[in-house]
Amino acid sequence: MSFRSVFSGVSVWALACTPAAVGSDPAREAAVFEAVLRQQIKEHLDSAERARGAVVCLAIDPGGAPQSPPQVVMARFSGDAAVRRLAQCESRPKGAVELVSLRPAVLVTAGPIDWVADDEAHVSVKYFRNARQSALRKYRVVREQSGWFCLGPILLDGPA
């Protein structure tokens, strides 16, 4: 299954979710979302987290409201048994959990996308493990010859 065919469902989904998407390139947006979500999976599910059975629960916010990605998007992550849709998880006072198993979870929402250039985007990412381990950050995603890659968080720092 090709990248383009897997994400063709995202085109309709993204256009339906936000008026700002009119005139945009849904395939490009899908590739950016995939890049940032892949980076988040690596960031939050290291070997120690996987050993304790943690899962990551994904959502996409194209500019209206966070939603679980459609199955066509989740198919891109089907090789990772620790990846779930946001609807399969819940935030609780003691921390996020997968609803069925009550395994520890990290809730990750990517979006909206802020286009800096044709080949660069800044993507807002929220994550929640528990009240002490949660954040909202911006991540830099760039297009290189072989595709889109998330370079990591954008750190804003300056003189005091």
Strands (E), the chain: 55-60, 83-85, 89-90, 97-98, 105-117, 120-128, 134-144, 147-153
Of the pLDDT bands very low, low, confident and very high (cuts 50, 70, 90), residue 157 is confident
Place of tokens 């997968």: 98
Domain count, the chain: 1
Of the pLDDT bands very low, low, confident and very high (cuts 50, 70, 90), residue 3 is very low
pLDDT value of residue 19 = 39
Q: What is the pTM of this model?
A: 0.81
In a domain, 153, yes or no: no
In a domain, 122, yes or no: yes
Of the pLDDT bands very low, low, confident and very high (cuts 50, 70, 90), residue 159 is confident
Mean pLDDT of 51-57: 96
In a domain, 25, yes or no: yes
In a domain, 159, yes or no: no
pLDDT value of residue 69 = 83
Of the pLDDT bands very low, low, confident and very high (cuts 50, 70, 90), residue 125 is very high
In a domain, 155, yes or no: no
Which structural domain range is residue 90 located in? 3-145
